[in-house]
Structure 1
Amino acid sequence: MTEQEIETQFTDMSVLVVNDKLAEANAIGRASRRLVEDLRHHGVGTILSNSAEDALAVIGANPHLQAMILDWDLQEDPAHRHAMDLLRSLRAHNENVPVFLLAERSDATRIPMEVMSEADEFIWLLEDTMEFISERIVAAIRRYRTQMLPPMFRALMNFAKEAEYSWHTPGHTGGTAFLRSPAGRVFHDYFGEALFRSDLSISVGELGSLLDHSGPIGEGERYAARVFGADRSYYVTNGTSTSNRVVMMASIARGQIALADRNCHKSVEHGLSLTGAVPVYLMPHRNHLGLIGPIPPSSLTAECIRNRIADTPLAAKVEEKPALAIITNSTYDGLCYNAPRVEELLAPSVDRILFDEAWFGYARFNPIYKDRFAMRGDPAQARRDGPTIFATQSTHKLLAALSQASMIHLREGGAPVEHSRFNEAFMMHASTSPQYAIIASNDVSAAMMEGVGGRLLTGEAIAEAISFRQTMARLTNEFMDRGTWFFGVWQPDRVRDDSTELAFADAPPDMLAQVQSCWMLEPGAEWHGFPNLERDYCMLDPIKVTVTTPGMDLSGGLSKHGIPASLLTAYLAEHGIVAEKTANFSILFLFSIGVTKGKWGSLVNALLEFKRDYDANAPLTRVMPALVQSHPGRYGAVGLRDLGEEMFTAMRDGRIPELLQLAYDVEPRSILTPATAYDQLIRQEGDATGLGGLASSIAATAIVPYPPGIPLVMPGEALGALDSPVLRYLGALQAFDQQFPSFEHDIHGIEVLDGEYRAMRFLAP
């Protein structure tokens, strides 16, 4: 894209002018004012600042600055500290934005090398014409704009701006079809012309092809590989569910063994069905809150895996070594492995490892996550004698891409995966008409993470999460000192840096943001509740914040009183706050790069309001009117605390937390592979029945409580007797759902008919 083509894509040019002499009645002041006037005449908007302090605030608040004009003699400091600090701050936010130093020629020989290398050009204000200076600044801005955009997005913008006559799909032809209908016109106006002009077809050769990775799309994928540290990267337009299935189909042949994290997303179950793999599951632990922990390192040793295979009847007959191991990293609740250690443990057993990093695409860009992710370090210096490593990442989840945007990253090891073979699996799942805006959003996500941008954005998200965590810890301590309750946060009570141990609430924020040991799951530490861990094996991701409600102690026992998390979630939703995941007594909040102080401050205020309303037993008609409106007879005369106590009693009497642990801790017996179960389902074998009819039968489909989408039972597994942990747990959930409408559990694989759970089953042979 040329500078002129780029120019039309931007609505403004914003330049920060830092000069404390603008108002002075002397030659420098008059020349400075003429420069500002001339820039505005050229269409350049200026933000004026007369101090380093004010300019720092502008830099922090305005990421769209396209140049800075800096007075080298700012605030008449002989050491030029103000100007140097300002320049360092700008470069910490943006490595490439052009900087012009206002100086006199006699100053040039005394300007430090650091400043000379960081500034792009000098302005001799009293010696050059204003027209010459302005044109240099505008030219630099245009060059910056051209270089700023990633390759595929740049090509898409260039193509979409051309007023071509389209004779190919899509049928709306740049949005014009919508203008022929009243409803279509509203749709067009709502989303805007740019979206429809960039919604193109695979037949647009100028943009290349997602299927053969050519042209600007292929260039974008190679750009992403460089940014994310991969040998090869692939853009995916249907989420990491598809990315996981692509990797599995490229790595596993029918009848081969897959080592599958039991804490896997259901897309892995789909991959098992598609490939015909024989699964051998790697079992993580759950803690007192029901949070899923890491797979213990002892379970990843070659000896343990051999024993697991021998104890799995369907796998014991397979003579080949496992084809692929699938590890969830980080977990939904933010637990991150020591990735080199996992690779070391698995290397004797498997030649390819897939790290499902759907929720962890940002890890490479902040040092707090050192060694906690798959694509570590420089690929050129990586070892090549270990397993081939895949990482699948949902760029739409915690980076800034559109929904369904995902990437597959690959780093070759001792069992390489040729591109041509891999691409057969890729094409099997990729649409021949991909959404170009999704592809472009992957491109832009990579650009946002490149260089200092990734460190800055992730650092800000971590800082906000730490501020929220420490605020909550202080509030909890204050309420405890008053002898009353408040919400907790699942995190260490105390943190250590070398020999210094501090209460979490009192630790310096910089220490929490920089010292990885503050977040480590130390072996035997009471707060996390996971057994059999090695030191340095697993850490908690600071930005995944789990708020806990009263009701459960560290041993997993229920207290005398408690507040089910689902009630708090419903209350928050009616106050405009939507959580990511709700368990029995915990709620997950994600601090993505879009979270601001105002946003988490509103969450703190809402939690305080809940406490006030709960303690006052405020009527639901006032504090949760939508709930009452949906079921007026059930909730119209009930107070908030009354409902909370009733729900807690039902959970305690139904033993729901206890049955949850039993249901996930006892691994069901595999009778059929997921692929065989799917074949029988398509042949219309089996039937749907209530919980009583499921006893002593085989699950025809996965049963997956949502969120987080972790299978309770896989297809082809035995459901056990009527008093088995799985069926007892489902029965307890069914009873709860019948008692509390609007608080029903979302379970994939379960159909609810007249309040009764039903699922597909096969009769046991």
Structure 2
Amino acid sequence: MPASSWRLRSDAWEYLRYAVKRLALGGDDRSALAADSEILRSLRALETVELYWAGFGQQYVRDIGDLLEQGDFRTALDRIGRVVKRLRGEAQGDEAFDEYADEQERIEFAADTDPRPRFEVLVVDETTAADREAMRGDAQRLRAPADSFIYEYVIVPSADDAVAAVLTNPNILACVVRPGFSDRTRQRLSRDLRETIRLARSEVAPGLAPTRSQLASVQRVLGLADTLAAIRPELDLYFMAGAHIEELAGALTRRFRRVFRREDQLELHLTLLRRISHLYDTPFFTAIQDHARRPVGVFHALPVARGGSVVSSKWIRDLADFYGLNLLLAETSATSGGLDSLLAPVGTIKKAQDLAARAYGAKHTFFVTNGTSTANKIVHQALTAPNDVVLVDRNCHKSHHHAVMLTGARPAYLEAYPLNDFAFYGAVPITRIKQLLLDYRAAGRLDEVRMITLTNCTFDGIVYDPERVMAECLAIKPDLVFLWDEAWFAFAAFHPVTRRRTAMAAARRLEDRLRSSAHAAAYRAQQERLHDADGAALPDEAWLAERLLPAPDARIRVYATQSTHKTLTALRQGSMIHVYDQDWVREAEEPFHEAFMTHTSTSPNYQILSSLDIGRRQVELEGFELVQRQLDLATSLAQSIARHPLLRRTFRVLTAHDLVPAAHRGSGRPMPLRDGLSTMWEAWANDEFVVDPSRITIEISRTGVDGDTFKHEHLMDRYGIQVNKTSRNTVLFMTNIGTSRSAIAYLIEVLVKLAERFEEEQAQRDPDLPLPAEIPMPPLPDFSAFSVDYASDRGGAIAGGAERSALPDGDMRAAFFRGQRRGAVEHVLPAELRARVERGEEPVSAGFVTPYPPGFPVLVPGQVITAGVLDFMAVLDTREIHGYDPRRGYRILRSAW
């Protein structure tokens, strides 16, 4: 498997330390230095990689190679040891330096003991070795004790190298472009990295600068700036030139934060530090810390504030001992002293939310302290009204179904493709969404359709192409509002490949696309193809066959809800709502704030808010590194299971070939990231659906146990391994930004032990008895229909007497509240209910029935109960079924009351 740069680099240095130590101690002879040896292959790889990192450089690696060739293994080991110490975060002592170390090197390594946070600055320019040393020396001389941060330069000569550096070195947080760079690299890069660079550069075309600046050199600078910004939008870009900077500033201002003359080194230094301080700033977390340190008198609600009811108690002091006194000192019900109000923020909370909007690429961001379930209800209430039609993914989280019920909107359910072999759903194909919108248009009811809500990505890792979905939907209804439930996808905003499939990034790309003259021309041409000579729309087949283009004046109205705490650093229930709405002020701002106040407590948890604030700091400063590591570790896990002879006999890793039907994927690779970043890039750029590499779903049929038993009795109870989700025959393992290589190794170790145990048990079992996980599940039930009493459209005639089928939306709220009246409801046991269905009756559910797993409502209020639903429920072995009482049966609506 192609390893990421962070992993290749650290592994190569660690291996060199091990191998050269054996040479130095006489454990190996000089044959270990043969031309095809692992030592020399590692040195060759590092000679390329070190160009893209600060601190050592290519010459340092070459010097180690020379020492090995000369047989000076101990000196080579000393030099390798310095690198390993820095990679491990260990300080360099005086004993680490040999006679080869000059004074400059000693100064540089001495900074390892400096506790200040360190970052790296990329400089793109063709320079001499002397110039590079001079630049690094200048940076060190400009350091002052009062500086809050330390930085070092990474200097590369070409645009290709600049792209390679920002793709491989997550420590780079700023980039200085000088006009003397060349275009192509002279480094021996891997095929995967070369292809990724090509893909990254081919996606971005520089915009037109003012006429006077239509020079090839300026266009090269603009193209590089746009490419770097697309890959790593958190980077600050600066331009440095020797002349005509006044004219250049006007042409470059949109791409670069500032333009400097070459001699303005001090000003650049101060700017770099100032900008990083803005990323580091956590206004609300800082305010909480200040409040905790301030002596105050508490004369408001909340006895626990300042620890008042705890530290003086004889019986509950262990609360403070366990959580720490700071938790109590930070508690208050006051919103003064810089703490601000979540319901009407004007100070530190508002600033923290604005910083989060910047980080996630939103126009507005709002913090939510009671989970994404509440975030979803806020958005639904803000954007929909009674009798609006909302297209809802049938497989979405129950909070969306509840939100539709509360608002009085009418849900029209979209069916995701079923994965019957694994007892869970995939995602909703674009053709189904388009067809339903076209059905509403044909019925003359398209104006009633207000919003569509989809889950991106699903619990099982199926990821939409939001830009395509939104573009094609807007081509049919140009004012459609989109709510993307990204509860499990917050991390994706901080990786150059996964970011493109987040709602906010897709909204920005779509907005830019609609502004272009090329899009306007393509739209006009497509409209001519989709309409006849009289201007009438062609049949649906023509609209379904094309990838539709929205009108240039279509409105971009996009909302995303994220469970930040699920995939990034935040306390439980810490969530965010991100907004990219061109009609925010005119259409949404006031109702959104009203909905926010409806669902938000007047006593929000300050610890959750401060964790959202400081978690944002983390992902802006190191999110790329953390997410790349997360994806790599998941791929390592999948690869280890597939390669281990025992594990692959017992478990099977499900890939895109299992989770995405062939019609909805184009790349053909089962696990694209396993083949390299470029392969993943192409799949995520082109396929209708992709699979999040950080989720590894294991099929366990051959273990002899079902998923729920495997989770509780084997993983959790026996080995302390915690997982979120299982189905009848699968277990989902998720990596996150906190997962370590040691954790992956432990999981593999546990799986091996379990595989051995299962094989031993299988050898003793009765062959005539089927394995529990091999008992066939009935097909996953589609949404049947709303009963005739609650269906909005009962079918009938349209102009000319032609028959049409009923559209699927219904009045779920009326059914729900009728189901709250005791006299309107009866309880029916499964056997009796099945008998009624077999007699041709159509029982109607009085409430939500939601088994966990799989976690979606199998029944909603007003839905007709069918034999398919009963078959599915009959074989579920889940421990939780919300809305169903096994003693009394199903709640159904009486036919008359």
- Return the TM-score normalized by structure 1: 0.71
Three-state SS of the structure 1 residue aligned to 2:771 is helix
Equivalent residue number for residue 97 of structure 1: 118
Of 727, 734, 752 in structure 2, the residue corresponding to residue 608 of structure 1 is 752
| 1:316-331 aligned within 5 A | 320-331=447-458
Equivalent residue number for residue 251 of structure 1: 383
Cα distance in 2 between the residues matched to 1:667 and 1:149 = 52
Equivalent residue number for residue 709 of structure 2: 567
Three-state SS of the structure 1 residue aligned to 2:566 is coil
Equivalent residue number for residue 321 of structure 2: 189
1:296 and 2:429 matched: yes
1:545 and 2:702 matched: no
Equivalent residue number for residue 648 of structure 1: 771
Of 810, 814, 818 in structure 2, the residue corresponding to residue 676 of structure 1 is 814
Of 701, 715, 721 in structure 2, the residue corresponding to residue 577 of structure 1 is 721
Three-state SS of the structure 1 residue aligned to 2:500 is coil
Cα distance in 2 between the residues matched to 1:353 and 1:335 = 18
Cα distance in 2 between the residues matched to 1:83 and 1:667 = 74
**Is this contact kept in 1: 2:704–2:773, CA < 8 A?**
no
Change (3 A) 1:650 1:282: closer
Equivalent residue number for residue 729 of structure 1: 872
Change (3 A) 1:614 1:447: same
Equivalent residue number for residue 894 of structure 2: 763
Q: How far is 1:176 from its partner?
A: 2.1
Change (3 A) 1:613 1:275: same
Equivalent residue number for residue 281 of structure 1: 413
1:515 and 2:679 matched: yes
Equivalent residue number for residue 337 of structure 1: 464
Cα distance in 2 between the residues matched to 1:411 and 1:216 = 22
Tell me the amino acid that sits aligned with residue 678 of structure 1. F
Change (3 A) 1:82 1:352: farther
Which structure 1 segments of 5+ residues have no match? 1-49, 101-106, 124-132, 311-315, 522-534, 552-560, 618-638, 738-743
Cα distance in 1 between the residues matched to 2:828 and 2:667 = 59
| 1:13-412 aligned within 5 A | 53-54=80-81, 56-57=83-84, 60-62=87-89, 76=100, 97=118, 110-112=131-133, 115=136, 119=139, 121-122=141-142, 135=145, 148-204=280-336, 206-287=338-419, 288-301=421-434, 303-307=435-439, 320-347=447-474, 348-349=476-477, 350-376=479-505, 382=512, 385-412=554-581
Q: How far is 1:420 from its partner?
A: 2.5
Of 883, 888, 892 in structure 2, the residue corresponding to residue 749 of structure 1 is 883
Equivalent residue number for residue 419 of structure 1: 589
Deviations 1:479-518 (A, max 9, x none): 66xxxx22111125899xxx999996xx995x43453258
Q: How far is 1:162 from its partner?
A: 0.9
Tell me the amino acid that sits aligned with residue 204 of structure 1. S
Change (3 A) 1:651 1:111: closer
Cα distance in 1 between the residues matched to 2:352 and 2:562 = 16
Moved more, 272-281 or 572-581: 572-581
Change (3 A) 1:592 1:99: closer
Q: How far is 1:616 from its partner?
A: 1.9
1:436 and 2:626 matched: no
Tell me the amino acid that sits aligned with residue 745 of structure 1. R
Deviations 1:335-375 (A, max 9, x none): 11111101012212352100000000011111221421101
Cα distance in 2 between the residues matched to 1:647 and 1:82 = 69
**Is this contact kept in 2: 1:280–1:308, CA < 8 A?**
no
Question: Percent of aligned positions with the same letter in both sequences?
Answer: 26
Deviations 1:223-277 (A, max 9, x none): 1000000000000000000000000000001111011111110000110111000
Q: How far is 1:609 from its partner?
A: 0.9
Tell me the amino acid that sits aligned with residue 293 of structure 2. K
Equivalent residue number for residue 687 of structure 1: 826
| 1:626-645 aligned within 5 A | 642=765
Tell me the amino acid that sits aligned with residue 829 of structure 2. G
Three-state SS of the structure 2 residue aligned to 1:448 is helix
Tell me the amino acid that sits aligned with residue 648 of structure 1. L
Equivalent residue number for residue 781 of structure 2: 663
Moved more, 159-168 or 538-547: 159-168
Of 592, 596, 603 in structure 1, the residue corresponding to residue 740 of structure 2 is 596
Change (3 A) 1:606 1:272: same
Equivalent residue number for residue 628 of structure 2: 459
Cα distance in 2 between the residues matched to 1:456 and 1:642 = 47
Cα distance in 2 between the residues matched to 1:443 and 1:727 = 46
Three-state SS of the structure 2 residue aligned to 1:573 is helix
Q: How far is 1:662 from its partner?
A: 4.1
Q: How far is 1:61 from its partner?
A: 4.6
**Is this contact kept in 1: 2:564–2:576, CA < 8 A?**
yes
Cα distance in 2 between the residues matched to 1:644 and 1:607 = 24
Three-state SS of the structure 2 residue aligned to 1:180 is coil
Three-state SS of the structure 2 residue aligned to 1:516 is helix
Three-state SS of the structure 2 residue aligned to 1:163 is coil
Three-state SS of the structure 1 residue aligned to 2:502 is coil
Deviations 1:533-565 (A, max 9, x none): xx61111100011111135xxxxxxxxx95433
**Is this contact kept in 2: 1:565–1:586, CA < 8 A?**
yes
| 1:693-732 aligned within 5 A | 693-694=832-833, 695=836, 696-720=842-866, 724-732=867-875
Of 439, 447, 450 in structure 1, the residue corresponding to residue 617 of structure 2 is 447
Structure (1 or 2) with the greater helix fraction: 2
Which structure 2 segments of 5+ residues have no match? 1-76, 122-127, 152-272, 515-552, 661-665, 791-810, 837-841
Change (3 A) 1:425 1:285: same
Change (3 A) 1:568 1:683: closer
Change (3 A) 1:68 1:162: farther
**Is this contact kept in 2: 1:393–1:407, CA < 8 A?**
yes
Deviations 1:383-438 (A, max 9, x none): 58433000000011011100000000000135764423210010100000000000
Cα distance in 2 between the residues matched to 1:643 and 1:438 = 53
Three-state SS of the structure 2 residue aligned to 1:432 is coil
Three-state SS of the structure 1 residue aligned to 2:697 is strand
Cα distance in 2 between the residues matched to 1:690 and 1:96 = 64
Moved more, 686-695 or 279-288: 686-695
Cα distance in 2 between the residues matched to 1:299 and 1:78 = 68
- Return the TM-score normalized by structure 2: 0.61
**Is this contact kept in 2: 1:392–1:408, CA < 8 A?**
yes
Deviations 1:65-94 (A, max 9, x none): 9x999999998478999999999xx9xxx9
Q: How far is 1:200 from its partner?
A: 2.0
Equivalent residue number for residue 653 of structure 2: 489
Change (3 A) 1:590 1:68: same
Change (3 A) 1:386 1:279: same
CA RMSD in angstroms, aligned pairs only: 4.2
**Is this contact kept in 1: 2:78–2:97, CA < 8 A?**
no
Count of residue correspondences: 610
Equivalent residue number for residue 26 of structure 1: none
